[in-house]
Chain A
Amino acid sequence: MSLAVALFAVVALATGASALGVVLSRNIVRAAVWLLFTLIGVALNYLLLGAEFVGAAQLIVYVGGTLVLVVFGVMLTAQGPLRSLAARPAEWAVGGVRAAALFGLLAALALGPHAPPAVTPPDGPLPGVGPLGLAFLGFPDASPAANVTGVPDGKVFPRTPVAYLLPFEVVSVHLLVVLIGAAYLARAKRRAKA
C-alpha cells in the first residue's frame, strides 16, 4: 500500500468519523464544529487527489464562508429548545434508511460493472487551473503540457463556438440577485420617522 493510499484512508476515515459526529452530536454548536472537520477532511481528500483548485475552493467557500455564517447563526440562536437536539426513533429510522440507500447506490456505482476504469495519474506535475480557465473560454484542447499559466505559447488553438464563461457569469449574477433579495426580505422593517 503506497503512502498516498494510506494517507487517503486515514483522511477518509477521519472525515467519516466527523460526519458521524455531526449527526450524533446533541449540542448544535458541537455539531457545527464536527461539520468543520468534515469539510476540512473533504478538502484534504481533494488535495491528496491532486485537485488543488477544488480543495482550496472547498476551503474558502464552505469553511471560510458558509460555515462561519452557520456558526455565527448557531451561536446567536443556541438557546432554549435548540441548545440540545435529540432525534426521535422515527427520524433515526428514516434518516438511516436513506443514508444506507445512498451509500449502497454510490458503492454499487463505484465498484459495479459500470464503474469508470481506473486511471493511473500521469508522471510529472499535474495540470494547473490553466486548462480549466481555457475551457471556460472555449479552448477544448488545452493540453496538460501547456506551461504553468496555461497560456499556450505560440500555438493557435481552435475555439469551440460555445464558451462557458458567459453562462457561468450569468449563474453567479443570479446568485447575487438571490442574495440581495434575501437581504431585502429579511431586513428589519423600520418605519420612516415622521
Chain B
Amino acid sequence: MPSFWSDFLQPPLSGIAFGVTAVAAIFGFISGSAFFAIWAERKVSARMQDRLGPTRVGPFGLLQSLADGIKLISKEDHAPAGADRLLFRLAPYLAFCAAFCGYIALPFGAGLVAAELSVGAFFMLAVLSSEVFGVVLAGYASANKWSLFGGVREAAQVVSYEVPRALCVVVPVCVTGTLNLTTIGTQQAGWFWGWNLFHDPFTFLAFFVFFVTATASCKRAPFDLAEAESELVAGFLTEYSGFRWSIFFLAEYGSMFAVSGLAALLFLGGWHTGVLPFEPTAEWGFWLGNLLNLAVFAAKCWALVLVMMWMRWSLPRLRIDQVMTTCLQYFLPIACALLVGVCLWQLLAPPAVTAATRYVLAFGTLGALLLLVASVLRPPAAAGPAGHLPGAWAGRATPLTAGRK
C-alpha cells in the first residue's frame, strides 16, 4: 500500500489517517455488500420459488434493503425481563467486530490491504472463528430456552467445523509455501490454469470442502441450526429486534464475504482475471491496475456468495446430529487425507504429471462451466399445444383440457 497520506501529514498523523481511511473503506465494503446481498438473497429465493420478490421499492426493488433498514431502526429496542442486559446489548457488536476484523488482513488487490500480515491466512481463520462468541452470548443473555439451544448448537457446530476448515486452508498453503495472503495472490498471476485450484487434484477437492465448511461456520443454511426457525422459533435471534437484529445480519453477510474472499485468494487466483498474462498493477500503475483488481476480486466474492444463496434455497436444513456427523465423520477425515495427499504430491509427482493434471483440471472445469451456462441460457423446451402442460405433466388433464378428447 503506498503511503499516500504522508504527502500531506507528518508520520504519526499520517498513520492515523491511513487507519481511519482503511476502516472507513472496509466498513463501506461490508455495508454496501450487505445492502445488495440482502436484496439478492430475496431475489434469488423468489426466483427459486417462482415468485417475483421485491419489486416495489426502486428499480427491480433495489432499494428494498433501505426500506428494511428504516423499518428496523424505527422498531422498539427492548430486552427481555430476565436478560443479562449488558451481555444482551454487547453480543451483536461482538459478532460484528469479529467479522470486521477479518478484513484487516484481506487484500483486495496487489498491495491493496489494510495491514499486510505475514500470517494473514492464519489471522483470518483466528478472527473469524471468534465470531461464535457473539452468538453464544446472545443465546445465553436472552434468558430464553430457544435462544440458549441456538447458542449451544452454534458453539458445538463452529468449534467442530473450524478444524476441517483450517486443514483445508493448509492444503493450498502447502503449495504456496507462505501464509501471507498478498504473496499467495501475487503467485497466482497470469493465466487461469496457474490458480491454486487447478494445481493438483487435492487442492481442487480442498476448495469444495473448504467452501462447504466455511458456509457451515457462517451458519448459513443448510447448516443454520443456530436459527432453525422450524425448531427453535428463531434460535439465538428470538429475543432480538430492530437495530441489534440487523447488526447480526450485517455480521453474517460480512463473514460470508470474508470467507468468500479467503476462498478466492487461496484457490481462485485472488484478484487476477485469469485471462491477462501479467499483473495489472505492474503494467498500468498502482491505482488503475488495482481498480481492475478490486472489481475482479469483488466479482469473485459475489459469485461465491451467490452460490451460498443458491445452496441455501435449494437444500433442506440438516438435523443437528447430521451436521455434526457430516463434519466429524466425513469432512475431518477427508481434509486430513487431502493434506497428506498434497504433501505427497509436492514431493513425489513428476513434472510431466503435474503439468498435465493442471491443464486437465483447468480446461475440464472451464468446459463444465461453459456447459452449465449453455444449459441455463438454452430456451425451455417448446410447450405443447395451448392448454397442455409441458415436461413431466404432459398428457395430464388440466381444467382446460378436461372436457376435451
* A residues neighboring B (CB under 8 Å): 2-3, 27, 29-30, 33, 36, 40, 52-53, 55-57, 59-60, 63-65, 67-69, 71-72, 75-76, 78, 125-130, 148-149, 151
Interface contacts beyond A56-B122, A59-B126: sample of 9 additional A-B pairs, CB < 8 Å, sorted by A: A29-B137, A30-B86, A52-B118, A56-B117, A64-B126, A68-B132, A72-B156, A125-B118, A126-B118
Residue ID in chain A nearest B140 by CB atoms: A75
Show 13 residue pairs from A and B whose CB-CB distance is below 8 angstroms, ordered by the A residue.
Answer: A3-B15, A29-B84, A30-B86, A56-B123, A56-B126, A60-B125, A64-B126, A65-B129, A68-B159, A71-B140, A71-B155, A76-B152, A78-B140
CA gap between A37 and B139 in the complex, in Å: 19
Contact B151 A53, beta carbon cutoff 8 Å: no
Q: With A33-B87, A63-B130, A69-B159 given, is the CB distance from A3 to B122 under 8 Å? A: no
Q: Considering only CB atoms and an 8 Å cut-off, how many residues of chain B contact the other chain?
A: 40
Minimum CB–CB distance for B392 against chain A, Å: 46
CA gap between A2 and B140 in the complex, in Å: 42
Q: Which residues of the partner chain A approach B156 to less than 8 Å between Cβ atoms?
A: 72
- The reply to whether the CB of B158 lies closer than 8 angstroms to some CB of chain A is yes
CA gap between A5 and B247 in the complex, in Å: 33
CA gap between A60 and B136 in the complex, in Å: 17
Q: With A59-B127, A128-B180 given, is the CB distance from A64 to B148 under 8 Å? A: no
Contact B159 A128, beta carbon cutoff 8 Å: no
Contact A148 B122, beta carbon cutoff 8 Å: no
- The reply to whether the CB of B177 lies closer than 8 angstroms to some CB of chain A is yes
Contact B179 A129, beta carbon cutoff 8 Å: yes
- The reply to whether the CB of B12 lies closer than 8 angstroms to some CB of chain A is yes
CA gap between A52 and B16 in the complex, in Å: 20
CA gap between A47 and B127 in the complex, in Å: 13
* B residues neighboring A (CB under 8 Å): 11-12, 15-16, 84, 86-87, 90, 117-119, 122-123, 125-127, 129-130, 132-133, 136-137, 139-141, 148, 151-152, 155-156, 158-159, 162, 166, 176-180, 183
Minimum CB–CB distance for B255 against chain A, Å: 13
Q: Which residues of the partner chain A approach B133 to less than 8 Å between Cβ atoms?
A: 36, 63, 67-68, 71
Residue ID in chain A nearest B123 by CB atoms: A56
- How many A-B Cβ pairs are below 8 Å? 102
Q: With A68-B136, A68-B158, A149-B177 given, is the CB distance from A56 to B15 under 8 Å? A: no
Q: Which residues of the partner chain A approach B137 to less than 8 Å between Cβ atoms?
A: 29, 33, 71
Q: Which residues of the partner chain B approach A130 to less than 8 Å between Cβ atoms?
A: 178
Q: With A72-B136, A128-B178 given, is the CB distance from A60 to B122 under 8 Å? A: yes
Give the residue of B126, B151, B152, B180 whose beta carbon is less than 8 angstroms from that of A148. Answer: B180
Please list the 8 inter-chain residue pairs (A to B) with the smallest Cβ-Cβ separation, ordered nearest first: A128-B118, A64-B129, A60-B126, A59-B126, A149-B177, A56-B123, A3-B12, A149-B178
Give the residue of A3, A57, A64, A126 whose beta carbon is less than 8 angstroms from that of B162. Answer: A64
Give the residue of A29, A53, A71 whose beta carbon is less than 8 angstroms from that of B122. Answer: A53
Q: Which residues of the partner chain B approach A65 to less than 8 Å between Cβ atoms?
A: 129, 159, 162
CA gap between A141 and B225 in the complex, in Å: 50
Contact A29 B178, beta carbon cutoff 8 Å: no
CA gap between A65 and B141 in the complex, in Å: 21
CA gap between A185 and B162 in the complex, in Å: 25
Contact A129 B155, beta carbon cutoff 8 Å: no
CA gap between A72 and B139 in the complex, in Å: 11
